Amino acid sequence: DAMVIQNPRYQVTQFGKPVTLSCSQTLNHNVMYWYQQKSSQAPKLLFHYYDKDFNNEADTPDNFQSRRPNTSFCFLDIRSPGLGDAAMYLCATSLAGTDTQYFGPGTRLTVL
């Protein structure tokens, strides 16, 4: 089945130690998104790629970066994780001009 895959499902990192979360998709969608979801809160959009064009949300901290080397893969890099960055990170995809986003299961990040 076509899907959105996030690895790992659980990630533990140390305060200040760079970490990379990955997302891959077999849907061949041209738009990919990263959301941050803190405990008991709604998902918050960090940024998205429209093909290779990167679109950052105005309030996304500089500590968060993203790479999309090809259509199938997208990475979220947190350069210096702080305790406040502990959250579930959700990847989603969509086909531009259509209405549905398809979400992965998320990666739960713990910062020690």
Partner 1 sequence: DAKTTQPNSMESNEEEPVHLPCNHSTISGTDYIHWYRQLPSQGPEYVIHGLTSNVNNRMASLAIAEDRKSSTLILHRATLRDAAVYYCILRDLNTGNQFYFGTGTSLTVIP
Residue 108's DSSP bridge partners are 10, 88
Q: Which residues contact 88 (CB under 8 A, 6 or more apart)?
A: 36, 37, 38, 106, 107, 108, 109
Residue 1 engages partner 1 in binding (rule: CB under 8 A): no
Query: Of 57, 65, 67, whose CA–CA distance to 24 is shortest?
Result: 67
Residue 102 engages partner 1 in binding (rule: CB under 8 A): yes
Minimum CB separation of residue 26 from partner 1 in Å reads: 15
Place of tokens 């429209």: 50
Binding-site string for partner 1 from residue 70 to residue 99, where x marks contact by CB under 8 A and - marks none: --------------------x-x-x-xx-x
Minimum CB separation of residue 108 from partner 1 in Å reads: 9
Residue 23 engages partner 1 in binding (rule: CB under 8 A): no
Helix ranges, the chain (H):
none
Minimum CB separation of residue 67 from partner 1 in Å reads: 19
Candidates 42, 62, 70, 83; binder of partner 1 (CB under 8 A) is 42
Q: Would you say 20 and 76 are in contact if contact means Cβ atoms under 8 Å apart?
A: yes
Cα 107 to Cα 87: distance, rounded to the nearest angstrom: 8
Give the footprint of partner 1 on this chain (CB under 8 A). Answer: 4, 31, 33, 41-45, 48, 50, 55, 90, 92, 94, 96-97, 99-106
